[in-house]
């Protein structure tokens, strides 16, 4: 199942390693989801690396290892592949920062993995929360 991973999900995986990180770890074993994201996500996280290091309990090496793992689990898509959906996405996304993720989900006709309540409220049919994703992954393994 194709799913767009948003910045907050990836950032949370690096920062707190809670449910979002669990989704990527379980999916590595189960293979239910094929994660994609706009390519700028990689750069967005890179810009926040100092903040992660300052606030996380992980070492630079620990964060780097997790970031490398996440980059292997997510296929990055160039914005020119979904720019034709940007106008529609701008009307549906709750914030400008969400437009690229919504546009990619619209282009690929898939869901977005996010815990963002604004996106969930604006696009309830397009969102899978980390908790829902974990349930889906555990159901597949049962």
Decide: 15 and 52 in contact? Cβ < 8 Å: yes
- The 8-class DSSP code of residue 60 comes to H
Q: Is the dihedral of CA 108, 111, 116, 118 positive or negative?
A: positive
The predicted structure's pLDDT at residue 80? 95
Per DSSP, the three-state class of 114 is coil
Per DSSP, the three-state class of 2 is strand
pLDDT tens readout for residues 12-25: 888 777 899 999 99
**How many domains would you assign to the chain?**
1
CA 73 from centroid of its chain's CA atoms:
10
The predicted structure's pLDDT at residue 16? 72
Instruction: CATH number of the domain at 94, please.
Output: 3.40.50.1010
The predicted structure's pLDDT at residue 51? 81
pLDDT tens readout for residues 72-109: 999 999 999 999 999 999 999 888 889 999 999 999 99
Q: Is the pTM of this model over 0.75?
A: yes
Q: Percent of the chain having pLDDT more than 90? A: 57
Q: Is the dihedral of CA 70, 34, 11, 79 positive or negative?
A: positive
Of the candidates 49, 9, 51, 65, which has an alpha carbon nearest to the alpha carbon of residue 33?
9
Q: Given 3-state DSSP classes, what are the helix, strand and coil percentages for the chain, each rounded to the nearest 5?
A: 70, 15, 20
Domain range for residue 41?
2-141
Q: What angle do CA 56, 23, 89 make, to 5 degrees?
A: 95
The predicted structure's pLDDT at residue 77? 96
């Amino acid at each position: 199942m194709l799913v767009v991973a948003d910045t907050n999900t990836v950032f949370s995986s690096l920062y707190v390693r809670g449910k979002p990180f669990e989704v990527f770890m379980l999916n590595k074993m189960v293979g239910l989801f094929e994660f994609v994201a706009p390519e700028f996500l990689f750069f967005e996280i890179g810009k926040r690396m100092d903040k992660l290091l300052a606030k996380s309990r992980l070492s630079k090496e620990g964060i780097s290892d997790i970031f490398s793992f996440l980059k292997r689990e997510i296929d990055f898509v160039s914005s020119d592949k979904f720019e034709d959906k940007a106008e529609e996405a701008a009307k549906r996304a709750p914030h400008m920062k969400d437009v690229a993720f919504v546009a990619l989900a619209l282009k690929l006709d898939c869901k977005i993995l996010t815990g963002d309540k604004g996106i969930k409220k604006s696009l309830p049919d397009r969102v899978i929360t980390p908790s829902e994703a974990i349930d889906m992954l555990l159901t597949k393994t049962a």
